[in-house]
C-alpha cells in the first residue's frame, strides 16, 4: 500500500521584502503522509510560521513547489483553502463575540446554512468542552480555552490537513494538556496535522515524524526514535554528592567517553558507544576510586541533545 502524500514541499524559498538576508525559508522540503502528525521543530526565527503560512496560501513563496492534497498552493489556492484548517500562532478568534457566535460566523463563512452552522457550533463546543462558556465573550476565555475555540473554528468543515502553529506557547501546563488532548482527538478522526513547536517534548508527545528546521532549512527528519538513534551515542548519567568527585570522574572516564563529557551541577553525562561495557567499566572505575554515586543511569539521548547536535544552538526553554 502506498501512503498518500497530503503535504509536499520542494525547495521552497522565501525572502521577506525588507527582511534580513537569509531570514525566511532557504530550500525547505517536507513530505507528510495522510493521517499522520508531523512536528516542525525549530528555535525562534527558524521559519516555522513562514512555512505554515506558505502552505496555507497566506504567503507567496519566491520559488519552489508545494502541494496540499495534490493542489498547488500557488495556482489552486481556492482548492487548497477548501481542504485546510489553520490555527495561527496567536488565537485568531473574534474576542468581542461569544464562543458560539464565533463558531456560527466561521461556519457561515465556510458556506454552511444557518441551521447547519448552529448545529456544527454546538457539536464543536461540546467536543472541546466549551459548552458551558459558549455564551461568554471570547475575551473572557483563558488562554487554553481560547486555543481550543481557535482549534474548533479550524475544524468546522473537517479539513484534510490542519496546520497548528505553536499551539501551546504561552500556556500553563494545564492549558498545554488541554490542547494536546484536543490535537490527539483530531488525529483519531483522521486529520493530517502539521504542528510547529519550540518544545521538544511536545513534538515527542504528539508527532509521528519530526522535521527539524534551522535557518529556513530542514536539517533532520524522521521519527522521534530514529532521530534520537541517528544521533548516536547513548548517555551514561552519574549523579554524585560532592563537587570534588565531579572533577575526579571527568578525568577517570575521559578515555571511555565517545564525545564531550557534560557537567551540570552534580550530574556528569558521559556519551558512550557500547552500553553494557561502558556501564561495567565506569562502575569498576568508580569502585577503584572509592566514589559512591547517588545515581547511575544509562539512557537514550533526549531530543534536546539531538537538537543541540544538529543545529548547534540551544533550545529556548
Please give the grid coordinates belonging to residue 137.
465573550
Q: Which residue has the cell 499522520?
A: 36
Smallest distance from the beta carbon of 169 to Mg ion, in angstroms? Answer: 8
Rounded to a whole number of angstroms, the minimum distance from the CB of residue 105 to another protein is 6
Report helix, strand and coil shares of the chain as percent, to nearest 5. 40, 25, 35
Q: How far is the CB of 227 from ligand ATP (least distance, A)?
A: 19
Q: Which is nearer to ligand ATP, 60 or 287 (CB)?
A: 60
Alpha-carbon span 93 to 102, nearest angstrom: 7
N-term to C-term CA, the chain: 41
With CB under 5 A as the contact rule, the residue among 49, 102, 168, 198 that binds Mg ion is: 49
Treating both helix axes as pointing N-terminal to C-terminal, what angle do 243-253 and 275-288 enclose, rounded to 10 degrees?
130
Q: By CB under 8 A, name the one of 111, 140, 277, 299 that touches another protein.
A: 111
Strand partners, 241: none
Contact set with ligand ATP (CB under 6 A): 16, 19, 23-24, 42, 44-50, 89, 198
Closest approach of Cβ 262 to ligand ATP, in Å? 26
Binding pattern for the stretch 137-166 against another protein, x by CB under 8 A and - elsewhere: x---------------x-------------
Query: Among Mg ion, ligand ATP, another protein, none, what binds residue 42 when CB lies within 5 to 8 Å by partner kind?
Result: ligand ATP
**How many positions of this chain bind another protein (CB under 8 A)?**
34
Task: Please choose, out of 92-100, 220-228, 256-264, 265-273, the segment that lies near another protein by the rule CB under 8 A.
Answer: 92-100
Q: Of these partners, ligand ATP, Mg ion, another protein, none, which one is at the site of residue 219 (CB under 5 to 8 Å by kind)?
A: none
Q: Helix (H, G, I), strand (E, B), or coil: what is residue 7?
A: strand
CA–CA gap between residue 223 and residue 36 (Å, rounded): 11
Q: Please name the residues in contact with 5: beta carbons below 8 A apart, sequence gap of 6 or more.
A: 31, 32, 33, 34
Amino acid at each position: 500500500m502506498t501512503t498518500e502524500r497530503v503535504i509536499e514541499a520542494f525547495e521552497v524559498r522565501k525572502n521577506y521584502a525588507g527582511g534580513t538576508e537569509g531570514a525566511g525559508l532557504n530550500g525547505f522540503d517536507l513530505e507528510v503522509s495522510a493521517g499522520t502528525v508531523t512536528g516542525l521543530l525549530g528555535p525562534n526565527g527558524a521559519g516555522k510560521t513562514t512555512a505554515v503560512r506558505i502552505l496555507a496560501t497566506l504567503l507567496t513563496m519566491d520559488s519552489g513547489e508545494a502541494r496540499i492534497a495534490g493542489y498547488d498552493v500557488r495556482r489552486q489556492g481556492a482548492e487548497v483553502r477548501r481542504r485546510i484548517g489553520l490555527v495561527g500562532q496567536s488565537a485568531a478568534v473574534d474576542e468581542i463575540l461569544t464562543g458560539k457566535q464565533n463558531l456560527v460566523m466561521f461556519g457561515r463563512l465556510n458556506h454552511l446554512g444557518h441551521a447547519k452552522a448552529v448545529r456544527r457550533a454546538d457539536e464543536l463546543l461540546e467536543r472541546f468542552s466549551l459548552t458551558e462558556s459558549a455564551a461568554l465573550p471570547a475575551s473572557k476565555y483563558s488562554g487554553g480555552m481560547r486555543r481550543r475555540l481557535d482549534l474548533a473554528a479550524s475544524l468546522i468543515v473537517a479539513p484534510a490537513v490542519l496546520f497548528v502553529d505553536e499551539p501551546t506557547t504561552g500556556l500553563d501546563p494545564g492549558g498545554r494538556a488541554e490542547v494536546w488532548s484536543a490535537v490527539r482527538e483530531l488525529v483519531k478522526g483522521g486529520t493530517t496535522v502539521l504542528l510547529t513547536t519550540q518544545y521538544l517534548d511536545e513534538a515527542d508527545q504528539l508527532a509521528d515524524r519530526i522535521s527539524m528546521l534551522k535557518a529556513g532549512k530542514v536539517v533532520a527528519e524522521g521519527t522521534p526514535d530514529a532521530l534520537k538513534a541517528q544521533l548516536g551515542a547513548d548517555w551514561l548519567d552519574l549523579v554524585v554528592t560532592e563537587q570534588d568527585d565531579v572533577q575526579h570522574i571527568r578525568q577517570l572516564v575521559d578515555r571511555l567517553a565517545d564525545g564531550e563529557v557534560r557537567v551540570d551541577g552534580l550530574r556528569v553525562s558521559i556519551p558512550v558507544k557500547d552500553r553494557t561495557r561502558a556501564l561495567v567499566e565506569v562502575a569498576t572505575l568508580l569502585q577503584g576510586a572509592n566514589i559512591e554515586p547517588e545515581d547511575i543511569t544509562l539512557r537514550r539521548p533526549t531530543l534536546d541533545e539531538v537538537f543541540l547536535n544538529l543545529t548547534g544552538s540551544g533550545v529556548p526553554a
